[in-house]
Amino acid sequence: MFATEAPSLSFRFSIARESDRSRGRLGILHTPHGIVRTPVFMPVGTQGAVKCVSPDQVEEAGAEIVLANTYHLYLRPGHEIVKEMGGLHAFMSWPRPILTDSGGFQVMSMSSLRRVTEDGVVFRSHLDGSEHFISPEKAIMIQNALGSDIAMALDECIEYPCDRAMVAEAAERTARWAERCMEAHSRAPESRAQALFGIVQGGAVPELRRRSAGQISSIGGFHGYAIGGLSVGEPKLVTYDMVEEVVPLLPSGSPRYLMGVGSPDDIVECAVRGVDMMDSVLPTRLARHGALLTANGRLLIRNAAFAGDGRPIEEDCDCYACRHFSRAYIRHLFKAGEVLGMTLATIHNLRFLSRLVEMVREAIRSGGERLLQEKMREAYRGRE
């Protein structure tokens, strides 16, 4: 195993409290761009912008960290441009922490003609068909150029369902690539201000998940550990089971990041299972389709029932949309095709998830996990 010292001095994770009723815990992630309270939900700014909102609106909604996609930014505008413009924080005018993924998932889900070898992945851009090659080393180099606070190791993502042999092979390769990422990262001077997380794979196979967790944990030097390859179509209970398999095998003092999870019930279920960080395009994508998250489930704002409804989306919500506008107005904006409708819906959904993780943290603090789980299960049963 390749082992190295954590290269970044400004990155640290401290656990403030562990629940005695669940695996849930309260933590603080210290990064070069400030702290993040965990459990946390991270809005996604795929192309260097959270869709339909400005960074000050994201901040006002209570987000403490955002995610950006390496695959997209590498293809457009290109990581060199972002670096020239002073790095991703300056480019997108987001002064708080940023996590970049490695591009592995998007290469699998968005590009065509991909060919995975031990070296890396050859793929064609979904934008113009141009051919590109990404290796573990190149994924790190790109993320170094972007200057995110947290970089992710390159992993091999597979489809769900997938046969066991392929799952096993992808998980083994992910482990070998993780070592190469760690080596490349530890050599780069830019990495001094950047944490690196490893990613556990293993599909929906408990044994392979456990093996992958062991392999990634034993590499040493990672600042945190992600659980990848979930939320790709498998039943919710499988997601939860895999989280339960993996969490106990990860170093308990490091942050655990479950990739791609963002429905309200899943956020609660996974946080009480010991997950510290989550991300998903779900809340912003739902918003653009007029599906608003509330404590009582989704509210489909286009419904005729809201045409004359003078109430805000949620009575007790303090977001800009709820403080200023009625359901009737937001419905009108959606019916009329006004972009402002999507903006207000996005602001609300982001605020809802900020408030939800605040509730999760309060539940962990006070032992109220069960109640919150029941509430969100009831509201979102089989909905996302």
126 makes contact with a copy of itself (CB under 8 A) = no
Nearer to a copy of itself, 295 or 300 (CB): 300
The answer to whether residue 241 is catalytic is no
Which of 159, 145, 55 minimizes the C-alpha distance to 107?
159
Per-residue x/- marks for a copy of itself, 8-47, CB under 8 A?
---------------------------------------x
Return the sign of the alpha-carbon dihedral for residues 196, 228, 67, 30.
negative
Length in residues, the chain: 384
Per-residue x/- marks for a copy of itself, 286-315, CB under 8 A?
---------------------xx-x-----
Per-residue x/- marks for a copy of itself, 59-88, CB under 8 A?
-------------x---xx---x--xxx--
Nearer to a copy of itself, 32 or 48 (CB): 48
Please report, as residue ranges, which positions from 130 to 149 form the binding site for a copy of itself (by CB under 8 A). Answer: none
Least Å distance between CB 243 and a copy of itself? 32
Size of the site for a copy of itself (CB under 8 A): 39
The answer to whether residue 316 is catalytic is no
Least Å distance between CB 69 and a copy of itself? 11
15 by DSSP, 3-state: which? strand
Least Å distance between CB 326 and a copy of itself? 6
Nearer to a copy of itself, 92 or 261 (CB): 92
Least Å distance between CB 315 and a copy of itself? 17
Q: How far is CA 306 from the centre of its chain?
A: 32
56 makes contact with a copy of itself (CB under 8 A) = yes
Return the sign of the alpha-carbon dihedral for residues 118, 120, 125, 129.
negative
- Whether 345 contacts 301, CB under 8 Å: yes
340 makes contact with a copy of itself (CB under 8 A) = yes
- Whether 108 contacts 114, CB under 8 Å: yes
Query: Which span (90-98, 194-202, 223-231, 265-273) binds a copy of itself, by CB under 8 A?
Result: 90-98
- Whether 143 contacts 151, CB under 8 Å: yes
Nearer to a copy of itself, 299 or 342 (CB): 342
In single-letter form, the type of residue at position 194 comes to Q
Other C-beta atoms lying within 10 Å of the C-beta of residue 188:
18
Other C-beta atoms lying within 10 Å of the C-beta of residue 68:
26
196 by DSSP, 3-state: which? strand
Which of the following is catalytic: 56, 128, 279, 318?
279
318 makes contact with a copy of itself (CB under 8 A) = no
Q: How far is CA 137 from the centre of its chain?
A: 22
Nearer to a copy of itself, 237 or 323 (CB): 323
338 makes contact with a copy of itself (CB under 8 A) = yes
Nearer to a copy of itself, 247 or 317 (CB): 317
Nearer to a copy of itself, 124 or 332 (CB): 332
> What is the C-alpha to C-alpha distance for residues 96 and 99, in angstroms, rounded to an integer?
10
- Whether 311 contacts 329, CB under 8 Å: no
Strands 256-258 and 277-279: parallel
**Those residues with Cβ within 8 angstroms of residue 304's Cβ, 6 or more apart along the chain or in another chain:** none
> What is the C-alpha to C-alpha distance for residues 258 and 199, in angstroms, rounded to an integer?
9
**Those residues with Cβ within 8 angstroms of residue 50's Cβ, 6 or more apart along the chain or in another chain:** 43, 44, 58, 63, 66, 284, 346, 350
Question: Catalytic residues, which ones?
Answer: 101, 279
Positions in the binding site for a copy of itself (CB under 8 A): 47-49, 51-56, 72, 76-77, 81, 84-86, 91-93, 307-308, 310, 320, 324-326, 328-329, 331-333, 335-336, 338-340, 342-344
